[in-house]
Structure 1
Amino acid sequence: MNAVAADIDAGILDRMIEIRRHLHRNPELSNHEASTQRYLRQMLEGQGITDIRDVAGFGLAVDIVGTGKPSNRKVAIRADIDALPIEEESGVDFSSTNPGVMHACGHDAHASMAFAVAAHLHQSRSDFGGTVRLIFQPAEEDEPSGGKRVVEEGLLDDVDAAICVHVDPYTPSGKIAVGPGPYTLACDTFDVAVIGSAAHAAKPHEGVDALAVACSMVTELQKIVSREIDPYNPLVISVTAINGGNAYNVTAGKVTLKGTIRSGSDATRERAWRRVRAIAEGMAASHGARVEVDIHKGEPGVVNDVEMTQLIVASARACVGAGNVLNTPGWTIADDFGYYSEKRPSVYFRLGIRNEDVGSIFPLHHARFRVDEAALKVGAATLVSAATGFLSMQPENSG
């Protein structure tokens, strides 16, 4: 591991950690990453990189063009840069100074690794041919999706493939996890408004208690997964908020629910949509209430291309040894890298950061989430190896 990681200059690796800590200390929410965008531009320019452009709102893209053996190949590397609306409790010295906002999903680590890749490739561009496009993407965590905007703005139109890494607090630090096929779930959201009629809390029979109806819906919605779907067919339905009522002595006349649907196939996705709507409408009707259901289609699931997965496996083995590369199934999170994998052959791999010695044991989106920074050089080295390895491959139709 150390031998290959050392191929990236120690100064670049030190700057990578510096950048990660600065971003962690100064997190910004989706579609508000103006300071992050400005800072990353400054750091890249400090490495002598000049071909930097603003993309997808508050994102950046930079093309590193090799001057070695000629190659017409081009590969994109995606690094997301936005944070989450979470009050940090990690206890690190560089904790967030932005109240209620935290890098609790590792996007600061992703951005800093992408910086290291860009800096290293720029420094060693005579060693390879072809182009590596680094995309520092905003708004992975919220709508409007930065990944969707990247595709709409044509940033993948002229590339042959795409790669991204995500830190993984469930995998031991420094190990690489990847596998072919579906690797994250599609993500949709729903809003439900239950309309009843308010009444005196001492005379609930004179109205229709929207809160009671909504609670019944929450219970019934869970049965879609537990009783209607094959356990081997991924589906998660979670009600994540319920709001309504404002007095001790008045039953609620209107209650709203919101939640998420995560699915592993188009057929399951469509079935879940139908069943959420049918259950909400049926429960409302059975209690004499009305209901409004809005389901919002979100990002598709990431599907890992077989050949791109093999490329990551080979690259990671070269960096950390075969014993540290895990063939693992996907996970139930969603990621708008799914828009990339719809457009081009892609691979999404995970970098283990779990290390009890540094407290890196909490899940993604947790207030006490931490990253074992020692693992980041492995992620950066794997990205470098995969990108340059891809550029050196001969396309099948090259004759």
Structure 2
Amino acid sequence: MSNAETGNRLMDAALERRMIEIRRHLHRNPELSNEERETQAYLREVLEEAGLSGIRPVAGFGLAVDVVGAAGPSNRKIVIRADIDALPISEASGVPFSSERPGVMHACGHDAHTAMGYAASVLLERQKQSFSGTARIIFQPAEEAEPLGGRRVVQEGLLDDVDAAIAIHVDPYTATGKIAVGAGPYTLACDIFDITVTGNSAHAAKPSEGVDAIAVACSVVTELQKIVSREIDPYDPLVVSITAIGGGGGAYNVIADEARLKGTIRSGHENTRQHAWKRLRQIVEGVASSHNASAEVDLRRGEPPVINDPDMVEIIRRTAASLLGQDNMLSAPGWTAADDFAFYSEKCPSVYFRLGIRNEELGAVYPLHHPRFRVDEQALSIGAVILCDAARNFLLPPS
């Protein structure tokens, strides 16, 4: 029996079909962070259709629903987080249910996370006689962009009475049917920055009469890479990426008087994070000054790293091993991506685990945030069942 069949055996065919239908609907109709109006309305509709009640809006365009166990009184609560937003990417995956919204795509698998969250909600509702306490499923908006939905979830008090939290993420680097999880830091912190370089215009034939802001910006890009390559221990995770650059008014014969850059800093430790902030400002201002230009840096603190609680990791390991076998459990290190589930992990014991979706029989495999990114849907039933069973195992009444 294949790994996917293991998951399907534990989920009836009708629910599996509905879960995939929901995933494909969301994939066709992606919405960007803090714009998930239609997604919110659609999720409310399908959850009510499945018999779930008490659905309420959270964090702007998100939803939360509590499934209360009937095995006895308990104040214990666990959260399952499913992120719902998409990315500003033009899809080129070629799947028949590709995005119908130009320039917007579920290129990070949040449509799959949402569909698995839906199925886990239904399974928990069906099995509520087997556990006590409450499973709170949060369909969270704005994981990809500020203002971050994870921060809002915490600010709105949705975790104040919660004992633990679980999140899942599809992983194109891991084979379908395998689970990757580990204790300790599991994603990196993420901060974003904008840089404005100001020079002086001049005729392109006489650049010496001005200060070329684009040339200065190019020097800034080069020098910033030395923070990582020459100032940080190779075993201390830090990534500095420039993700956009632009400037000038479009004329062929005018030296640009302004250039703009944006980027991100990913870090694993707070002292490294602080060092990168300091050096970014120093380098940008120093490079600009050395070229007779000036520069401004707008640096905004984002999510911290996700920290996986060892006891919660063990719940995922036991649950997944019982479904898939120990051979399909990977004690994998974290990755350099960031996730605002980190705000949950600051608030309560949490676990963030990865669901393998890599299936080369379906064609070439592409990474997260790629316009050709695809999800092997055979994995979804496995993820949904693990979410449900891990929550139930946490909420099992004392024996």
TM-score range, shorter chain: over 0.9
Deviation at 1:360, TM superposition (A): 6.1
Q: Which amino acid is 1:152 matched to?
A: Q
Say yes or no: does 1:271 pair with 2:275.
yes
Query: Distance in 1 between the 2:320 and 2:9 partners?
Result: 14
Say yes or no: does 1:247 pair with 2:251.
yes
Query: Distance in 1 between the 2:346 and 2:130 partners?
Result: 31
Consecutive unaligned residues of structure 2, counting only runs of 5 or more, are none
Match of 2:386 among 382, 391, 397: 382
Q: Which amino acid is 1:37 matched to?
A: Q
Native 8 Å contact 2:188 2:335 kept in 1: yes
Native 8 Å contact 1:75 1:162 kept in 2: yes
Match of 1:238 among 232, 241, 248: 241
Say yes or no: does 1:17 pair with 2:23.
no
- Corresponding position of 1:328: 332
Say yes or no: does 1:88 pair with 2:119.
no
Identity %: 65
Match of 1:51 among 42, 54, 57: 54
Query: Distance in 1 between the 2:247 and 2:235 partners?
Result: 36
Query: Distance in 1 between the 2:217 and 2:6 partners?
Result: 58
- Corresponding position of 1:40: 43
Query: Distance in 2 between the 1:186 and 1:353 partners?
Result: 25
Query: Distance in 1 between the 2:253 and 2:6 partners?
Result: 70
Say yes or no: does 1:182 pair with 2:178.
no
Native 8 Å contact 1:5 1:378 kept in 2: yes
Native 8 Å contact 2:6 2:382 kept in 1: no
TM-score (norm 2): 0.97
Q: Which amino acid is 1:17 matched to?
A: I
The aligned length equals 395
Deviation at 1:3, TM superposition (A): 4.7
- Bigger CA drift: 65-74 or 365-374? 65-74
**SS of match in other structure, 1:197:** coil
Native 8 Å contact 2:240 2:266 kept in 1: yes
Q: Which amino acid is 1:384 matched to?
A: C
- Corresponding position of 2:163: 160
Deviation at 1:392, TM superposition (A): 1.8
Query: Distance in 1 between the 2:105 and 2:77 partners?
Result: 33
- Corresponding position of 2:309: 305
Q: Deviations over 1:183-215 (max 9, x none)?
A: 001000111111111111111111111111111
**SS of match in other structure, 2:318:** helix
Match of 2:362 among 348, 358, 362: 358
Deviation at 1:373, TM superposition (A): 0.2
Query: Distance in 1 between the 2:62 and 2:9 partners?
Result: 29
Q: Which amino acid is 1:218 matched to?
A: V
Query: Distance in 2 between the 1:76 and 1:201 partners?
Result: 59
Q: Deviations over 1:276-328 (max 9, x none)?
A: 00000110111111111110111111010111111111111011110001001
Deviation at 1:69, TM superposition (A): 3.8
Query: Distance in 2 between the 1:205 and 1:377 partners?
Result: 64
* C-alpha distance 277-81 of structure 1, shift in aligned 2 (>3 A): same
- Bigger CA drift: 8-17 or 349-358? 8-17
- Corresponding position of 1:295: 299
Segments of 4+ in structure 1 off by > 6 A? Answer: none
Deviation at 1:261, TM superposition (A): 0.3
Q: How does 1:152-231 map to 2 (within 5 A)?
A: 152-231=155-234
Say yes or no: does 1:27 pair with 2:30.
yes
Consecutive unaligned residues of structure 1, counting only runs of 5 or more, are none
Query: Distance in 2 between the 1:45 and 1:356 partners?
Result: 37
Q: Which amino acid is 1:81 matched to?
A: I
